[in-house]
Amino acid sequence: MNYENLLITTENNIATITINRPTKLNALNKATITDLNKAFKTLAKNNEIRAIILTGSGEKAFVAGADIAEFANFSIEEGMQLAAEGQEKLFDFIENLKTPVIAAINGFALGGGLELAMACHFRVASENAKMGLPEVSLGLIPGYGGTQRLPQLIGKGRAMEMILTAGMVTAQDAYRTGLVNQVVPDAELLDYCTTVAQRIMKNSPYAVGKAIKTINANFKEGKNGYETEIKAFAKCFGTTDFKEGTTAFLEKRKAVFTGK
């Protein structure tokens, strides 16, 4: 499948999605959100794909924000629809994927760009990366989950400061606060993310998917994370992966998982 604003490559069961709007610093517009939704849906159905890396084209930006020209004249109702559809089609969709998604932040991740990175299961930044939620400087607030996910990652006080000042943080500051998992030299970013993906792929795909679901449950209103964990833990006992994993451990060999 061809995408207007994306480049997708697959190698050794890892898919890399590159947002490809370099002249717009990879800003998110409706078309790109739609492309991303279709791409993630397609990859999620492919059992051969065991991990996904998401990054931006060029050396300047992961995603430098939303495409402001698209919504500068929106009404209240249109603003409501923009946020609701975006969250459902892309940000919540990524967060709930059973296939792990790693954000490779290769430059500016601002506004919707940082919200996109935060929807991924974890984040790795290049040394030149800068992150922020500058929406209040436009008379807006983050609308793609930023007011919810940022406090979850770095705490309420730091999130309040970032959002209310509309300021940017460096990659090193983001690492110190837990916003990103690691900072690596620019040239090593994708290789590092691939190495992490390969480590994940040694484990049971079924168990990885259930782990993502149970971790997320703790942050969802009306969900009891402990109950979700108990049920998911129990379901693992009925899988081929469980039988293979325990047998391989007892036989002192490497497990070969199928995801079933």
Please tell me the distance from the alpha carbon of residue 205 to that of residue 179, in angstroms, as a whole number: 25
Q: Which residues contact 153 (CB under 8 A, 6 or more apart)?
A: 118, 159, 177, 178, 179
4 labelled catalytic: no
- Distance, CA of 249 to CA of 169 (rounded, Å): 44
Active site residue 135: yes
CA distance 81 to 102: 27
Q: How far is CA 50 from CA 24, 28, 96, 194, 218, in A?
A: 30, 26, 15, 11, 24
Residue 130 phi/psi, 5-degree rounding, is: -135, 140
For 12, list phi and psi in degrees, rounded to 5.
50, 45
* Residue among 10, 12, 113 at smallest CA distance from 60: 113
Q: Which one is catalytic: 77, 115, 221, 229?
A: 115
Q: Length of the chain, please?
A: 260
Name the catalytic one among 59, 77, 127, 135: 135
d(CA 91, CA 16): 17
The residues assigned a catalytic role are 115, 135
